[in-house]
Amino acid sequence: MTIAARPSEDPTDVSTQYIRDAIRDAIVDRRLAPGTKLSEADVGRLFNVSRTLVRGALQALSYEGLVNVEKNRGAFVAYPSPEEARQIFATRRLIEPGILREAAKNMGPSHFQHLRQLLMEEGRLMGERGQTARRAEIKASGDFHLMLASMTGNAVMQRFMDELVARSSLVIALYGQSAISSCGHQEHQDIVTSMERGDLDRACHLMLHHIDHIEKDLDMRENKGSDLKEAFRL
C-alpha cells in the first residue's frame, strides 16, 4: 500500500480529516486501485495513529462512496459496478447544467480569469509526459467541474459535486479506455467561451455532450458478478 503522506508534513499531529484526505487523494489519483483492502491496523501504522482515527476516516469515505466497508471484513477501495457508474453520470447530467446556470449568475471577469487559468494549467499538463503529469491532468480535469460548482456559492451543490467528481475518477480509473479523456480539454474551453458570451443554453448543451463523451469513452462490459471482481483485483 502506498498512500504517500504529503511532503513537508509532520507525520505527528495527524487527524481523522488528514487521513481521510490522504486516502481520498490516493484513490482519486489512482495510486490505490479499486478493490484494495484498507486494513485498519495497516493504515494506522502508516500514519502512526490508532485504529480509532482510521475507522473514522474510513467511515467518512464510505459515506462518500469511495470506500466500501463490509461488516466484519473490513474496508475496500470502492469498485463501482457499471450500473453505479451509469447512475453517477446520470446524476451529473442532471446537476451540472443547473450548476452552470447558477454559477453564471455570480460570475464576473475575475471568475472567468480563474477558470482560464485552470484551463491553461490543464493544457500544459496535456503536453507533458509521464504518469505524474497524467494524474495531475486528470485531477485538473475534475477541478474544472469543481471550480464551476464552487462559483455557485452553494455549499450543498459543491459537496454533491465533490462526491460525484471523486466517484467519477474512480469509474474512469476502472473503465477508462485510453487517454482519450484528454480531448475533454477543448470541451472545457468551449464551455467557458460560451458562458463568457452569455450563451448559457449553448454552454449547458456543451456540458451535457461533454459528460456524454466521458461516459462513452468507458468500456463497462466486463465482469458483471460484482463480488468476484474484488477477488481478482485484490
Q: Which residues bind DNA (CB under 7 A)?
A: 15-16, 37-41, 48-53, 55, 69, 71-75
Among 94, 180, 228, 234, the residue binding a copy of itself under the rule CB under 8 A is 94
Q: Is the Cβ of residue 77 or residue 126 nearer to DNA in the bound state?
A: 77
Minimum gap (Å) between residue 228 Cβ and DNA: 14
Nearer to a copy of itself, 53 or 138 (CB): 53
Which of 157, 171, 207, 218 binds a copy of itself (CB under 8 A)? It is 157
Q: Give the bridge partners for 67, in sequence order.
A: 77
In sequence order, which residues have a C-beta less than 8 Å from that of residue 52 and are 6 or more positions away?
none
Nearer to DNA among residue 21 and residue 40 (C-beta): 40
Judged by CB, which is closer to DNA: 33, or 94?
Answer: 33
94 makes contact, choosing from a copy of itself, DNA, none, with CB < 5 to 8 Å by partner type, with a copy of itself
- List 88, 140, 149, 203, residue binding a copy of itself (CB under 8 A): 88
- Point out which residues pair with 76 in neighbouring strands: 37, 68
Quote the CA–CA distance of 35 and 32 in Å, as a whole number.
9
Residue from 84, 143, 196, 217 touching a copy of itself (CB under 8 A): that is 84
By CB under 8 A, tell whether 218 contacts a copy of itself.
no
Sole window of 30-38, 157-165, 186-194, 200-208 interacting with a copy of itself (rule: CB under 8 A): 157-165
Sign of CA dihedral 185, 186, 191, 196: positive
Q: Which does 209 bind (CB under 5 to 8 A by kind): a copy of itself, DNA, none?
A: none
Q: Are 185 and 138 in contact (CB under 8 A)?
A: no
Q: What is the C-alpha separation between 101 and 99, in angstroms, rounded? A: 5
Instruction: Compute the distance between CA of residue 38 and CA of residue 67 in angstroms, rounded to an integer.
Output: 9
Which residues, listed in sequence order, are joined to residue 74 by a DSSP beta bridge? 70
For residue 40, what are the CA distances in angstroms to 1, 19, 200? Answer: 12, 12, 47
Torsion angle in degrees (nearest 10) through CA of 211, 215, 216, 217 = 110
* Site for a copy of itself, rule CB under 8 A: 52, 55-56, 59-60, 63, 65, 84, 87-88, 90-91, 94-95, 98-99, 102, 154-157, 160, 164
